[in-house]
Structure 1
Amino acid sequence: MLFLSEMSAWLAAFAIILGVFALVLEVFFVPGFGVPGVFGVVLLGWGVLLLSVDIFQATQALTVALVVTFVVLVGGVWLAGKINFWNRVKLDNRQDRKEGYVAPSRDLEELLGKVGVAATPMRPAGSALIDGKRIDVVTEGDYIGPGTPVLVIKVEGGRVVVKATDNV
Structure 2
Amino acid sequence: MVPQGIIISLIVLGVFFLALEVFVIPGFGVSGILGMGALITGIFLVTDSLLEGVLFTGGALVVLGIIAYLSFRSPRTRRLWRKFSLTTRQTLNGGYVGPKVQSETYLGRTGISLTQLRPAGTGNFDGEYLDVVTEGGFIGHGIGIKIVAVEGTRIVVREEKTL
TM-score for both structures, normalised by structure 1: 0.48
TM-score for both structures, normalised by structure 2: 0.49
